[in-house]
Amino acid sequence: MRALPRLAIAALLVAIPAAAVTVTVSAHAAEDPTPITVLTSDFEDGTAQGWGGRSAETVAHSTAQAHGGTGSLLISGRTAAWQGPSLDVLDTFEKGTAYTISVWVRMDSGSDNARLSVERRTGGVAAYDQVVGNTAVTSGSWVNLTGRYTLATDVEFLRVYVETASTTNSFHIDDVTASYVPALPIQTGIPSVKDVVTEFPVGAAITGAEIVTEHGQLLTKHFSTVTPGNALKWDATEPSENTFTYAQADPLMAFAKANGLKVRGHTLVWHNQTPSWVFTGADGQPMTATAEDKTLLLARLENHIRNVAAHYGTDIGVWDVVNEVIDESQSDGNRRSNWYNVTGLDYIRTAFRVAREVAPHAVLCINDYNTNVAAKRDHLFNLVSTLKAEGVPIDCVGHQMHINVNWPTIAETESMLTKFVPLNIDQQITEMDVSIYTSNSENFTTPPADRLLKQAYVYRDMFALFRKYPGEITSVTLWGLADDNTWLDTFPVTRKDAPLLFDTRLQAKQAYWGVADPSKIETSPSPSSPSPSASVSVSPSASVSVSPSASVSISPSASVSISPSASVSISPSASVSPSTGTSSCAVTYRVTGSWPGGFQGEVKIANTGTAAYSGWTLDWQFTGGQRVTQLWGGTPAQTGTAVTVTNASWNGNVPAGGSTTFGFLGSWTGSNPVPAAFTLNGATCAVR
């Protein structure tokens, strides 16, 4: 993966063993105490309360708007989108503490995407950490930006700030808070995963937040390998041409070396989290399948790999060389990415050839998701077989394993593994997590006990399967350390997920015991799940960097498998309601993550009328040159600026007062303005 970007695409039923087991160890998530608030700015005293501008913009108290009380902070006179309010938190935030930062934002006029970030400096060198990605904000209402931030390094400068993505319009902020929940010590008296599972190394994907304090202790106790989740991707290492930076990755690499952890490099080539300049020709236009553009793109690819792989040398023993190249909806199975459209399969050949030259010691992998789906598995097998026959040095197939509590079955997963045995190459589980959700419409305030039990059985059965193939599987990596920092909190919709072995307070869950000692899994207290919330939380996670990513897999229903590719055709319901011209809908459009050249969006359709929809088609215009590149929860079509999304087979029926949500990945250049209007079945919708 992915920061961005991965989620399971199907939700096929899997049997849960009926035999009771002895209750010997409690594995429920620890109950969070009351958060401790370290920062409050309510702007009720007539001052700016320490906030200032990042440049020459004006930051002043205002009574024109207020989220709570009578005052807010108005930021005006902006001449650049990055200008905005900033607050010094150097003496407030402590290294290694996970803070939840919340700020309410409202445009003074117009609309834009707002984002919340932290600027830090060490040795005079500035770095910028995004806490909340692009989020649609208008002048019509207040919008909350909430995310988590952990300072992982020593700094001499630390400021929280808010900016917008494209315009310089004035905006307000109000009711800013920062708080944390006191950490619990990790459990030292339980078995280490790496000591229990001896057939292959077990690792975790990490960010800077996982190498400090209790997180670092948990990581080194249980795991023997790490994967930098986003720090080695193209947007992090070469944001502009031939300008390389390793500020994100170097601290992770230093921690790994100091603690004897082996490192998987992720990833050298991917169609997401790749800056737009990579695919811009010498003429300044988007590349096409010309000989000139192909030569330039492959030269950029070779230069990138030679620099990044050489920078770490033998410190990285495994590389995900290319990531997510298969699209099973295509007759030939090849994803129609910019890489493929310009170079065909030569980008894969070039990437592996150069990686072998620069890192002859390393295991070189081709990595993809949903490889337990037969069509995708078979296309990947055929591609690897063809390339290896040509002499392309592919050493390994990576199976991401972003799954959920209902999908896939053990039989499907074993078929995935046995398919590649004849190729005589390594197989690695590269990004495993097990979502507690089986559809996009679910949203639990706390993880239901029966879902956690099912999750424990999934981890138990999957690891038991993996351990049957010790000669084939050479590594298993979980996509995260604990539930407090998971990309699934904002993907494919915003809600709190719990997909890993340890809970938000780093305590062992039943899932942990499913791996470490299945005899200690608790008996389920109830066979049914509580009803999910009627609405989905819109507070984005601080830890997700997207560009997610990303390619996506989703679980649309308990019985339907749907490919996440934007080109998948899904028949909508034949009947349509409401009738054209009747306004009975409201749309909430959010950008939940953004990276150079790309973004992730989420659209919620609310039925505000009195009659149910029996099918829907949503239309809008992109005015900034944006393109939808992938969509889940519907079938997209785009002609020029006009975008149309039709319901999927499973979410066309929306009752009065109900809602449905779909998500998508898009590309953008320069600006990413929010669509101004939406129509549903021809009727104009309210915009929230």
Distance from C-alpha of 271 to C-alpha of 324, rounded to nearest angstrom: 8
Q: Does residue 3 contact residue 546 with C-beta atoms inside 8 Å?
A: yes
Phi then psi for residue 312, to 5 deg, are -105, -10
* Cα atoms in the 13 Å half-sphere on the side-chain side of 113: 23
Q: Does residue 175 contact residue 67 with C-beta atoms inside 8 Å?
A: yes
Q: Does residue 673 contact residue 623 with C-beta atoms inside 8 Å?
A: yes
Catalytic residue among 293, 320, 324, 450: 324
Distance from C-alpha of 606 to C-alpha of 592, rounded to nearest angstrom: 19
Distance from C-alpha of 327 to C-alpha of 379, rounded to nearest angstrom: 8
Phi then psi for residue 185, to 5 deg, are -65, 150
Return the H-helix or E-strand segment holding 511.
Answer: helix 510-516
What is each CA distance from 474 to 201, 398, 650, in whole angstroms? 7, 10, 38
Catalytic residue among 238, 431, 450, 484: 431
Beta-bridged to residue 118, according to DSSP, are 129, 160
Active site residue 522: no
Q: Side chain identity at 232, as an amino acid letter?
A: L
Distance from C-alpha of 498 to C-alpha of 357, rounded to nearest angstrom: 41
Residues 6+ apart with CB under 8 A from 71: 42, 43, 44, 45, 46, 61, 62, 63, 174
Query: Strand (E) positions, 253-386?
Result: 262-270, 318-323, 363-368
CB atoms within 10 A of CB 60: 14
Residue 72: both structure tokens together: 């807010």
Distance from C-alpha of 304 to C-alpha of 323, rounded to nearest angstrom: 15
User: 3-state SS of 199-265?
Assistant: CCCEEEEECHHHHCHHHHHHHHHHCCEEEECCCCCHHHHCCECCECCCCCHHHHHHHHHHCCCEEEE
Distance from C-alpha of 541 to C-alpha of 146, rounded to nearest angstrom: 7
Active site residue 57: no
Return the H-helix or E-strand segment holding 415.
Answer: helix 410-420
Active site residue 368: yes
Distance from C-alpha of 169 to C-alpha of 681, rounded to nearest angstrom: 33
Catalytic residue among 320, 368, 426, 461: 368
Q: Which residues are catalytic?
A: 324, 368, 431
